[in-house]
Amino acid sequence: ARIADANRAAAADRLTLARQRFEVGSGTALEVSDAQNAVSQAEFDYVAAVYDYHTAVVGLEAAVGRPIR
């Protein structure tokens, strides 16, 4: 989940840069759209990673018969 969170932050940074480039005329609307899609995908990947982590914790707790935290 930490890597997914870092990817999410990096995608947000790329979107900011794409918007800035577009505003000054050195970027395209397609680049902004692609960056927005990357942010959406990174958000989805982050949520999926957190879900997978919690699912694994619950499975481990069930296997050992007690909370692990």
* Those residues with Cβ within 8 angstroms of residue 55's Cβ, 6 or more apart along the chain or in another chain: none
Residue-range definition of the domain harbouring residue 25: 2-64
- Residue 12 token pair: 């947000």
Per-residue pLDDT, 44 = 98
What is the number of domains present in the chain?
A: 1
Q: Specify the pLDDT at position 6.
A: 97
What's the mean pLDDT in 31-59?
A: 98
Rounded to two decimals, what is the model's pTM? Answer: 0.83
Within a domain: 69 = no
Which tens digit of pLDDT belongs to each residue from 22-43?
999 999 999 999 999 999 999 9
**What percentage of the chain reaches a pLDDT higher than 70?**
100
Is the residue at 30 inside a domain? yes
Quick one: pLDDT at residue 69? 79
Q: Is residue 50 part of a domain?
A: yes
Average pLDDT of the segment spanning 40-65: 97
